[in-house]
Structure 1
Amino acid sequence: MSVLALLLALVFSCSALNAQSVTVIVDKSGSGNFTNVQQAIDWVPANNNRWIRIHVKAGTYTEKVTVPANKPYILLEGGSRARTIIQSSGHGSVVGTSTFTVSADNFVASRITFQNTYNKLILRDEDAVPDASMERAPAFMIYGDKASFYGCGFVSLQDTLSDMQGRHYFNRCYIEGAVDFIWGSGQSIYEGCAIYSRNAGTTNFITAQGRDSPNDNSGFVFKYCTVNGDDTTFLGRVYRAYSRVVFFKSTLGSHVAPRGWFAWNFKGQEDLTTYVEEGCSGPGAKKSKRVKWMKTLGPAKLIKLVSTRKYINTDRWIEAQPRPS
């Protein structure tokens, strides 16, 4: 029996549902089970119901990776976000261009940077390309429910982190971009994350959240985060009529635009949105020039959004997932 066949047998011999059953190694030098990440994903059995740890050794892996909907219960683990990088250069549209796409439920990633290198070509530095224009170039796209990320990096300029749908938890991650670089209709909490707005010669927006009805549970909550950058940035622009974003007890740097928020194509409908800043500090947290339609929530409504347990984790799915070692 081959080594991989033996590992596959171990997956199904594990008696406890959702127990971590096996670890496989990705090493581009050839000393692991696989030399690229997609090979490891392809090896995971369809409709898998056991946690499988895929450890990606230090290195830069240039590839597009897709986790299909029928491959849940994957823990993807790197050495550190500075040393383990997955990158590609897809651009021009959302579908099919992301470096890493997850459609499966129950996904965990830790200590890896997901990067789209296309937009690096137009930054104002030694690598700049004259007359190049910024395009959509997602680094990560998530459609699955119950996904958590620990110490990961997400780097591009436009549409960096495409938080499309489902419940997601981001802990101490680094997210970098310029335009709508955290966007979509996810129901997500970002806790202790560092957000950086890059100078790309355009008007910058951190979020473009896509809540489209008062009954839609989606929204982005940033708690205990830091916002910095090298260019002026709005905290968000209205991407759908009921867009919802909360910054809670976060530190906002001097590059945050005094108005804070931008109505975009929804001028006259701003009262439908839920844009909240509560308990924030730093030079960018001054509210004297903020838009008049920014909301203030009462304690009960606020806690329903900023509490991880109440907003995204009512069924304790985060505790049920394996934590990175």
Structure 2
Amino acid sequence: MKYEKLFSVNYFHEYYSSGKFRGVRQVLDGNTKSLLKSYGIVLRDFDSGFSLLYRESENGSSLLKNIKSPLRFCFFLIAKDTSFYNYSDISTALNEPYWLTNLGAEEQQLHKGDYLAGGEQVVLVSSVLDIKNHLNAVGSDSDISIKNLYGEVFHQRGWASIDQAEFNLFLKESGYLKISTQDQNYSFYYKPSGLKQCMAVLNIVIEPGSGGKHHFDTIKGTDYTINIASRATTWKYNLIHRDDGKYAEFKVYSGKNEVPLNDVQDKIMVTGEKAYYIETTAPIQLQERYERHMELEMVKIEAGRNVKKRMNLPTPDVNKVRMQAEQGEIRAYSEMYIYF
């Protein structure tokens, strides 16, 4: 008897120099825990992901080869780093994680587009009452269609005719539900009690039979990937000067390239100190390490002459990224303070 890799899931993040992301832990739902026990599957964590290992006999057989119905493995992905949402270009909407599955996925990548942010989001719910509250604009006599992960129809009539106890059981067993009205589609996922700060829900499905895209022989050994993009922020600098001098002609450089800035503003800090306020025009992607540091060039105006000065500028602290709503969109910025 030996163990072979059923599949692995690898996390990558654009922010980190190595590309690997070590800040995720997995929470398994009750059904997945039962599957691991029933089929003798072992979960092994590694530094930037995890693997499932299955038992294979000496003749190469496995219980997974002879399944009669689909097996759905569910993993709730939780960010361990409290600053994760600051430096990650993903939605910060509470209770609406991304939904990932190998069904319909492009090869080994589990999300559409290059990064996680391009994927579908689901609303986490614990009961049919949560769903009704979310769809409070849908009338009780309106026709709706309720389907599970595999497209199987549970209900295709009005809200009023739904048996709530039966629906709650279906929700818990199915995990993922798609509800369609005449003009709108909604996606929900069953939320186990105590689940917090979930960034994504991952479903890996093994289908019965042979030769299919998601059959055991096709899936075994697959290395799935999840890619997360780095957030871009505008960089704001408060240049607080301790002398009574006058400064002008502010320029910021990244290496030899000048960084476009908004108009420089005079500012009085809450301490009463005078400052110049500058901000980059375009957002800059946050990185663990920067190839080039920012430099500030300015001119001090003195009697009879101008003196050019240059200094290094700090890079943002990802613990202090701020979000600001502008015209219905969220803009991220990093604000820094410099005394000279």
- Normalising by structure 1, we get a TM-score of 0.22
If asked which structure has higher relative contact order (CA below 8 Å, sep 6+), I would say 2
Larger-Rg structure = 2
